[in-house]
Structure 1
Amino acid sequence: MTLRRPGRIKRFLRRLEPAAYLSPYLAAFSLFFVIPFFYGIMISFFDWNLFFPEQTVYVGFDNYYEILFDAGSIFHRYFWQGLGNTALFVVLSVPLLIAIPLFFAILIDLEPPGYRFFRTLLFLPTILSISAVILIWKWQFYNNGGFLNSLLVKLGFAEIPFLIAQPWAWIAILIVTVWWTMGTNMVIFGAGLKNIDKSLYEAAAIDGATYAQTLRHVTVPLLAPQMFIVALTTMIASFNIYGQPDLLTSGGPQFSTTVLMMRIRGLAFGANADPGVATAMAILMGFIMIVVSVVQARYLRKRGE
């Protein structure tokens, strides 16, 4: 028994080696995610007073009830209006952020002259911060002196109120979002296209398939794994939209582009802050995203099968 103990101790210490490597990550993960997550859940059950913590009152599920069901509450209107605007953006942006990058990925996969430069040019906007992106595009959309409206006037057309009227405000946000983020999806689709066996295209050509038929029956079905990743991540990213409407339209006109994340931030850090309600909204938003993501993932997997 005495001779076996050193071996057992060595085996035990060897099993602990992964824990030594993982512990810094787990500590940081707990500090910056797990603890704030549960702390946020706790805050959502209180009428939290930032400036006078002693006046904080436990209200149970009142914040959630007020947000979801109390039609007379301004928080109810904030939540459902913000959620509706967010859902509208998701419905409008996700198809564009799949179709346009896929189009450019297929075009670049044909390797026309200068395709490397073209690919780099399309990907470059993704490395910019949202502040830089808005600075570039806001100047394009201005009514007086903006590049696009100045061009329209010179061509004899009327100015377009991109930032102050609908549907132009949403169109401006969509243009900025697609230009800024499509590079990542294009690269994912491009990687998938490189993995497709070119002999399949040759076989389709021998069978008399047109280029459009080859795309529909060969290329797109074989891109199912990439399509799954792009659709899921794009939906999640679109649901989390904040910077574009906040910096481009400030939520206008008449709050028509005020998305849910803007309401949550305003309630958390604004002049009339209510952290309890803001946290409850954030938790509800997270729950909705999880449900939608699971449903979407199952649907896409079934289609892929």
Structure 2
Amino acid sequence: AGVPPRRARRSTLAAPRRTKTAYLFLAPFLVLFLVFVAGPAVFGLWISLTNWSPFRDTQQFIGLKNYIDLFTPDSATSGDFWQSMGATGIFTVASVPFLLVIPLLIAQLLNRKIRGGTVFRAVFFAPYVLGVAVIGVIWKYLLDTQSGIVNHVLGMLGLPSDIPWTVNVPWVWVSLVGVTVWWTLGFNTVIILAGLKGINADLYEAAALDGAGPFRTFFSVTLPGLRQVMTFVVTVTILASANMFGQSYILTKGGPGNQTRTAIMYISDQGLSQNNMAAASAMSYVLFVFLAIISVINFRLQRERTERAPR
């Protein structure tokens, strides 16, 4: 039996109406995306191919010169840029493992039926709602070498009380990583906890019937069930760490000797302080390419693991 002609005609007439409604709902997002994301991205790409300056009446198209300068060792910007990229890499490598393991452990604990679980979730997530300026100022005072509470508490415990947390290496890295982990682990914890809630409870019951212990259950049930969630968390965490700016700017000012000056910090300095917008745009796109490659590799590795996983 076919669809009645009247019903089919109504369905045909309703389809364009639904399409128009969908576009109306999408329109505000598309407008904002074009104005604040796509437009500036295209303009930034154009700037990177010119000698653009806010103090120059005319701009000259110079092709890939700004990019070539970044890969020319004796150019004015190459050395400092790659030093800042190295600082970005150090921070990313040091912070990402903590921002994966600690939230995973906390989410495991919060996933159990414990009294006050909602309160604990709020406590862990609370620092994340604060701005980086607030976090930076608070910890700058807490970590002050002379009058900071952290060193004062260490002294009360009989430990060294003059640690230069924001002045000397390696303590500056310990401070930046520690503050960032404390500040942002709540976000990853909530995402992972949501993933844990989505794992079928029957799988845990089957593992228990098979005599699997906690470790075997974790690696055989929990981690496979979190595969897609962890891919998202890993990617977002790497991107966020590679774009770190506020913590370094407030806590260490990029010191000592520019050792904690990250790529974003150097790019903003070149573009806003030095008015070298063309070179800064080229640096931004080089950083973008690096992050895009890392993201693609991460997703491909995840897809290969998914394809090899037993069904």
Q: TM-score by structure 2 length?
A: 0.88
> Aligned with 1:46: secondary structure?
coil
Structure 2 residue corresponding to 1:134, chosen from 127, 133, 136: 136
> Is the 2:166–2:252 contact (alpha carbons within 8 Å) kept by the matching residues of 1?
yes
Letter in 2 for 1:226: V
Note the C-alpha offset of 1:13.
7.4
Matches for 1:218-257 after TM superposition, within 5 Å: 218-257=221-260
Structure 2 residue corresponding to 1:208, chosen from 211, 216, 239: 211
Matches for 1:181-220 after TM superposition, within 5 Å: 181-220=184-223
> Is the 2:231–2:298 contact (alpha carbons within 8 Å) kept by the matching residues of 1?
no
The 1-side partners of 2:115 and 2:84 are apart by: 46
Letter in 1 for 2:177: L
Matches for 1:267-286 after TM superposition, within 5 Å: 267-270=270-273, 272-286=274-288
> Is the 1:126–1:181 contact (alpha carbons within 8 Å) kept by the matching residues of 2?
yes
Query: Is 1:47 aligned to residue 20 of structure 2?
Result: no
The 2-side partners of 1:99 and 1:14 are apart by: 45
Q: Which runs of 5+ in 2 are unaligned?
A: 1-11
Letter in 1 for 2:283: M
Question: 2:303 matched to which residue of 1?
Answer: 301
> Is the 1:228–1:301 contact (alpha carbons within 8 Å) kept by the matching residues of 2?
no
Let me know the Cα RMSD of the aligned residues.
2.1
Note the C-alpha offset of 1:264.
0.5
Query: Is 1:61 aligned to residue 69 of structure 2?
Result: no
Divergent runs of 4+, >6 A: 8-14
Note the C-alpha offset of 1:50.
1.7
CA distances 1:216-245 after superposition (whole Å, capped 9, x unpaired): 222111111211111111111111111111
CA distances 1:72-117 after superposition (whole Å, capped 9, x unpaired): 1231012211111111211111111111100000011122333222
Query: Is 1:90 aligned to residue 92 of structure 2?
Result: yes
Question: 1:29 matched to which residue of 2?
Answer: 33
Letter in 1 for 2:136: I
Distance 1:15 1:183, change over 3 A: closer
Question: 2:76 matched to which residue of 1?
Answer: 74
The 2-side partners of 1:291 and 1:187 are apart by: 27
Structure 1 residue corresponding to 2:122, chosen from 120, 123, 132: 120
Greater Cα offset, 13-22 or 162-171: 13-22
Identical aligned residues as a percent: 36
Query: Is 1:259 aligned to residue 256 of structure 2?
Result: no
Q: TM-score by structure 1 length?
A: 0.90
The number of equivalent residue pairs is 295
> Aligned with 2:77: secondary structure?
helix
Question: 1:148 matched to which residue of 2?
Answer: 150
Q: Which runs of 5+ in 1 are unaligned?
A: 1-7
Question: 1:179 matched to which residue of 2?
Answer: 182
Note the C-alpha offset of 1:17.
5.0
Distance 1:34 1:195, change over 3 A: closer
Note the C-alpha offset of 1:24.
3.9
Distance 1:104 1:22, change over 3 A: closer
The 2-side partners of 1:197 and 1:71 are apart by: 55
Distance 1:24 1:193, change over 3 A: closer
Note the C-alpha offset of 1:165.
1.1
> Is the 2:99–2:185 contact (alpha carbons within 8 Å) kept by the matching residues of 1?
yes
Distance 1:82 1:10, change over 3 A: same
> Aligned with 2:164: secondary structure?
coil
Distance 1:182 1:11, change over 3 A: closer
Distance 1:301 1:53, change over 3 A: same
> Aligned with 1:63: secondary structure?
helix
